[in-house]
Amino acid sequence: MYGKKVKIRAFFIILVFTSAILITFLVINSLKENVVFFKSPTDINNLNQIESKKIRVGGMVKKNSIEIENKNLKFIITDFKNEIIVTFSGAVPNLFEEGKGVVAEGYLEDRKYLKAEKILAKHDENYMPPEVKEAMQGN
């Protein structure tokens, strides 16, 4: 019969393969669930169906659109073609300003309304999220 060494090797190889397959499966599965897509207001306007998944919307904060209450914040993201209303309660980053680039992450209520969970803004004055830049150029 096979020696002990061969058996241990075989066991080892099987172990490596099963764990590799298992891990690949886990990773792919987890990716599917946790990937967040980026869309511009125009992309959202063209959606056939409102998904219940979390998305990111990027564009410019429309001038004079920010409304502040104690707990909530309401503003409009525009790509100069289409607009979307965003509501948010929580902390905003430093450079969240009217007329500047912004990315909001959250859930769509309908094509014109996003309930945001997180607001991201650029790190410095000259920086514009690449998504926003492209969305701008695309229009």
Partner 1 sequence: MINQIGAYSLYICLFVSVYLILKSYISSKNFDKKIDQTFFATLSVQLFMTILSFFTLVFAFVFSDFSNITVFNNSHTLKPLFYKISGTWGNHEGSLLLWLLVLTFFLFIFFVTSKKMNVRYRILTILFQEIIILGFLLFILFTSNPFLNIFPIPDEGLGLNPILQDPALAIHPPLLYVGYVGTSIIFSASLAALITKTVDNVWASHIKNWILISWIFLSVGILLGSIWAYYELGWGGFWFWDPVENVSLMPWFCLTALLHSIIVLKNRNVFHSWTVILSITTFSLSMSGTFLVRSGILNSIHTFANDPSRGVFILTFLLFLVLLAVFIFFFNQKNFPDTYQRSFLVSRETSILINNWFMMFFLSVVLVGTAYPIFLEVINDAKISVGPPFYHKLIVPFLIPFLFFMALGPNIKWIKDKVKKLNISQIIFLILSFVISFFIVLNTNTNYLFSTLLFTFSFYLFFNVINSFQKKNSNLSQKVSHLGFSIFMLSILFNGILSKENSANMKVGDEINFLNKKLIFENVKVESDSNFKKLVGEFKLNDNGKIIHFKPEIRVYSQPETITSEADISSTLFSDNFLVFSLIKNDGFFNVRYQHKPLMIWIWISVLLMSLGGVFSFFKLNEK
Copy the structure tokens of residue 15.
């172990």
Copy the structure tokens of residue 126.
């000259």
| Chain residues 9-68 in contact with partner 1, contact rule CB under 8 A | 19, 23, 26-27, 30-31, 33-38, 56, 66, 68
Q: Which is closer to partner 1, CB of 1 or CB of 31?
A: 31
The residues near 101 (Cβ < 8 Å, ≥ 6 apart) are 58, 59, 60, 61, 121, 122, 128, 129, 132, 133
| Chain residues 116-135 in contact with partner 1, contact rule CB under 8 A | 123-127, 129-131
Residue 139 near partner 1 by CB under 8 A: no
Placement of tokens 């564009």 in the chain: 59
C-alpha distances (whole Å) from 14 to each of 7, 11, 72, 131 are 11, 5, 55, 44
Nearest distance, CB of residue 110 and partner 1, angstroms? 22
Q: Which is closer to partner 1, CB of 63 or CB of 109?
A: 63
The CA distance from 105 to 102, in Å, is 10
The CA distance from 95 to 88, in Å, is 16
* SS3 category, 65: coil
Nearest distance, CB of residue 57 and partner 1, angstroms? 11
Nearest distance, CB of residue 139 and partner 1, angstroms? 16
| Chain residues 80-119 in contact with partner 1, contact rule CB under 8 A | 89-98
| Chain residues 59-78 in contact with partner 1, contact rule CB under 8 A | 66, 68-73
Question: Which residues contact partner 1 (rule: CB under 8 A)?
Answer: 8, 19, 23, 26-27, 30-31, 33-38, 56, 66, 68-73, 89-98, 123-127, 129-131
